Amino acid sequence: MLIIDKLESYGFLGFARLCFQLMKTRLFYSPARLIRGPFCLRGRSRIVWGKGFTTGVGVRLDAFGEGRGKCLRIGKNVQLNDYVHIAGIESIDIGDDTLIASRVFISDHNHGAYDTKDALSSPDVAPATRPLISCPVSIGKKVWIGENVCILPGVTIGDGAIIGAGAVVTKAVPARSIAIGNPARVVRIFNDDMGEWGRV
């Protein structure tokens, strides 16, 4: 019955492609559940993911830098949808059971320094040759990140938070809150006593 349901859902060619991707995942990307291609993976030795990790098509994971430890850590049952790009040189953590929609960008670094008093990057220097300035990113457990979100260096997102579609996250988002906009701002927080999302 399950196979018939899958055939109806995906069509014959889609089902065959899914079976191939499942086999490829088990061979090359264990303990992930399903990695859909194309899948771009750079710096594999600095990336780790948990059991149940799933991706859509066109996902790109980059782990650069000279460090020996893991730079990009993805928890259990994390789902990245189509065309997610995550780029790290220092530290990006994504907690268990997090759902990330399509076309999301997450980075722990910038090309140059722009918000400090010392050693600011000059616009006369080509961006590609400016030093990479990093600050860790931490995304908690059971977080839902909407379509076209951009998460910038130094951001911490607490457990159970929701980031609305199109948001640009530049600062911390508390646990169990909803943040929207550019720059992202918190508009609701879950009230445990009332069992509802209250306005801020």
Catalytic residues, which ones?
111
Residue type for position 198:
G
Amino acid at 60: R
Are 125 and 112 in contact by the 8 Å Cβ rule? The answer is yes
DSSP per-residue string spanning 52-97: T-EE-TTEEEEE-SS-SS-SEEE-TT-EE-TT-EEEESS-EEE-TT
Q: What is the longest distance spanned by two Cα atoms in the chain?
A: 65
